[in-house]
Chains A and B, each alone.
Chain A
């Protein structure tokens, strides 16, 4: 089925620039050549478009003087030379080159992987050891407990009247006082030790 004139024109509008560019497949180029030979509306549309472009091209386009052009080229090239002497800029340039186009994606992916590894490494690392001063752990709990126990026993004996009677019976007054002094010394000794052990 042949397209109507209107459909043909719309179709040509969509492809005219590719036709002018010679970018259409050969068969399509031939198709439009045939249509342009036979269709006046298409011919007019095509010529109007070309005339508009020609009119634009006819306009006196400004140009750069030869002297100014040479100056600008020299400036561009010399900027590069100064640029080459700068180590930091060279590194930046190298990185730009590395990450340019194809490398950009690879570079980005590599950067991402490195970042992930670093983050995981941080998580996997054992917690930093808590440095504890030796003296706070050097408690000697068993020894002190024994000593406290002895003091408790002594106090228990003293509190217990029977024990006191027994002790009076068994020990002389001096012995009793000596025993009391020993207990007192033990308590003081424990107090002193506890004060010396800072937490």
Chain B
């Protein structure tokens, strides 16, 4: 979506045109949902979080100042929703739990599906090993694609700290994947 069209849709939404909200969000639908899914690790919870994010975004659009990128603003809301979930779920010890995805295999093409799921599990296991802040930086960066300076603002952390979290996250994931490969 072009910047001009996005601005036009934002203006329409600000004026209360609900029909403009769907097209505005659609651009970020997959990124946003997969980002939330990383925290939920469960479709149902991810959908709830997605709905929560959209409700808050719609309510807050009037306050959105267009100096900042819309994607950064939207992911800042999603990040807060995700952190609320993390705070609640940490009590129940559900955050980033390692799950077996075998039940999701598409048996029409089992080999490629198995490889994809294996990779996913290795990644998931590697992410489980990260500290909470490292996970937040890594997942936010990978799914939103927003720059680290924006991530620092969203997380209310110094840029140097955010970059350091990212470095540690990449190193840990790399090592985890290496160990997995070495074990095979």
Contacts and interface: CB of A to CB of B under 8 A. Distances in A.
Interface in A58-94: 58-64, 68-70, 72-81, 83-84, 93
B116 to A, nearest CB: 5
A73 B47 contact: no
Nearest to B42: A62
Contacts of B87: none
B95 to A, nearest CB: 17
A76 B54 contact: yes
A97 B63 contact: yes
Contact of B21 (A49, A56, A77, A97): A77
Interface stretch (A17-25, A27-35, A120-128, A155-163): A17-25
Interface of B is mostly: helix
A57 B173 CA distance: 13
Interface of A is mostly: helix
A75 B22 contact: no
Contacts of A193: none
B46 interface: yes
Interface in B35-54: 37, 43, 46-47, 50-51, 54
Contacts of A64: 29-30, 33, 47, 50
B142 A68 contact: no
9 contacts: A14-B160, A23-B147, A56-B123, A59-B123, A63-B29, A64-B30, A64-B50, A68-B47, A81-B18
Interface of B: 16, 18, 21-22, 25-26, 29-30, 33-34, 37, 43, 46-47, 50-51, 54-55, 57-59, 62-63, 65, 116, 119-120, 123, 142-143, 147-149, 160, 163, 166-167, 170, 173-174, 177
Given A53-B170, A76-B58, 5 more contacts: A59-B116, A59-B123, A63-B33, A76-B57, A93-B59
